[in-house]
Amino acid sequence: MRLSKIKEILGKSETLAFELPNGELVPRHFHVTEVGKVTKNFIDCGGTVRKEEVVNFQLWQADDYDHRLHPEKLVHIIELSEKVLGIGDLEIEVEYQGDTIGKFGLDHDGTNFLLTTKQTDCLAKDNCGIPAVKPKLKLSEIQAATSCAPGSGCC
């Protein structure tokens, strides 16, 4: 999800809830402790120089049960970050503390913001000798012309 999309959703929301990939909700007394721009400059395993930029939200929960973050307050934090840090309409990455700091993508289901799982990947598969994933076929979909019929002499 891009920054413009979360602002649009927050502008229409009365409450704010984040749901973990396992379906559990982040406790309602969470805080967004950071909104920032993260720039990653790196070289992939194939030698290509790359640059990625994301907006980072850090969710944190404490023992402060008396305060709730409301949508309009998060919009204010986002707009201040855009102005002061020069953040553009980038994809959002969310950090949340589980057993260790987890990084998640962000989506919305009409009610809750969904923390979506992220995966690592090789960005230079062609240079690393990693074969392309072959499509799986059902035997029933293979044409008779490519199969060996009894008495055809192909076997």
Overall pTM surpassing 0.85 (yes/no)? no
pLDDT of residue 129: 75
On whether the CB atoms of residues 6 and 94 are closer than 8 A, the answer is no
pLDDT in tens, 55-88: 999 999 877 777 788 999 999 999 999 999 999 9
CA distance 132 to 122: 12
Taking the CA atoms of residue 11, residue 20, residue 114 and residue 101 in that order, the dihedral angle to the nearest 10 degrees is: 80
> Greater confidence, 148 or 97?
97
Please name the residue that has the structure tokens 């230079």: 124
Please name the residue that has the structure tokens 């307050």: 73
Reply yes or no on whether the pLDDT at 146 is more than 60. Answer: no
CA nearest neighbour of 4 among 73, 52, 53, 55:
55
Tell me the average pLDDT of the chain. Answer: 89
CA distance 61 to 18: 12
Cross-strand pairs, 20: none
pLDDT of residue 137: 74
On whether the CB atoms of residues 106 and 1 are closer than 8 A, the answer is yes
